[in-house]
Amino acid sequence: MTLVLTRGDLESVLEPQACLAALREGFRTADAVPVAGQRVRTDLPFPGTATALIPGLLPGIEAYTVKVNAKFPGAQPALRGVICLHSGQDGELLALLDSATVTAWRTGLAAALGTDLLAGPGEAVGVIGAGAQAELVVRGLAALRPGSALVVHDTSADRAAAFAGRHGGRVLSSAAEVAAAADVVLSATWSREPLLRLADARRGQHFTSLGADEPGKVELAVDLLAAATVVVDDRELATTMGALAHGGTADATLGEVVRGEHPGRASAESLTVYAPVGLPWQDLALSWLAYRAAHREGIGRRVDLLA
């Protein structure tokens, strides 16, 4: 039997603190898996792209994930797909999970973790792009460093106002204004032109860029990246399809920071950037957590796909 978990099911069983702990452990141990995860992307003869992440593997979990996403920027939601959770023993399809929800949670909370590890003590958080991923970053940061002031900008004034209203923040009219007002700047957009340059940054500031996760997308200019300590989740992917595709180099991975192999922020004056692409093991970390919780609590619907 396969457990089907919808967005509502997932939101009823996922909890930020447990997810943050699972992601932190994943960053610590994922490099020990001998099989490398793959990220496959293709253009389509439609106004969108298709992406597959395989296989999601972590030490100690006898299961793996395969994720297939459709990304259509003009659609609502823009990302749709499914995560297949398979048994590592015999390949049984244990669960089908809504990928948009899992992706938002794992991307947003992993970004919150990276931001917390790299950012300085400043309290003002700025958001550029008030979508689902930014929502989860802010929720994660609220658990990791509560009490931060919030400013937000989005191309949709209504979306920015709603986001600010939910989190007690205020709306600003541009990305540059957000950078001027915030100590920690989060961007999660579909931008194909730099939103911020070195002239928009100042010493001690931290930037987390989530939007540059496939070729052609860019949020931070090369001069800003060159001046910063840049931490990524995967060096090769960051260079081929992530924030470093247009230039710059990675100083460390977040796994190295979590394991204490790299200090991350060298001093209070350092300029830091976290620029992840998103890795298959992160899908497994949260899918496994959700599957076990749903199984335990009797949530979701079971179907026999072989009937």
Domain residue ranges in the chain:
2-103+280-303, 121-274
pLDDT at 214: 85
**Which of 6, 237, 10, 220 minimizes the C-alpha distance to 129?**
220
Q: How much is the pLDDT for 97?
A: 98
Residue 123 is predicted with a pLDDT of 79
Residue 130 CB neighbour total at 10 angstroms: 27
pLDDT along the chain (307 residues), means of 10: 98 97 98 95 95 97 98 90 98 97 96 96 92 94 91 96 96 98 96 97 96 92 97 95 93 98 94 97 98 97 95
Predicted confidence at residue 217, as pLDDT, reads 92
Query: For residue 147, what pLDDT is reported?
Result: 84
One-letter amino acid of 298: G
Residue 79 has a pLDDT of 92
Say yes or no: do domains 2-103+280-303 and 121-274 share a fold: no
Q: Is 116 helix (H, G, I), strand (E, B) or coil?
A: helix
pLDDT at residue 174, rounded to an integer? 97
pLDDT value at residue 161: 97
The C-alpha angle 132, 179, 205, rounded to 5 degrees, equals: 100
Give the sign of the dihedral formed by CA 14, CA 300, CA 134, CA 161: negative
pLDDT attached to residue 76: 85
Q: Among residues 50, 23, 45, which one has the least CA distance to residue 214?
A: 50
Q: What is the pTM of this model?
A: 0.94
Q: How far apart are CA 180 and CA 197, in angstroms?
A: 12
Residue closest to 127 by CA, chosen among 152, 149, 97, 157: 152
CATH architecture assignment, domain 121-274: 3-Layer(aba) Sandwich (3.40)
Which CATH superfamily is 2-103+280-303 part of? ornithine cyclodeaminase, domain 1 (3.30.1780.10)
Q: Which of 189, 280, 186, 277 is nearest to 234 (CA)?
A: 277
| pLDDT at residue number 148 | 86
- Asked whether 245 and 222 are in contact (CB, 8 A), the reply is no
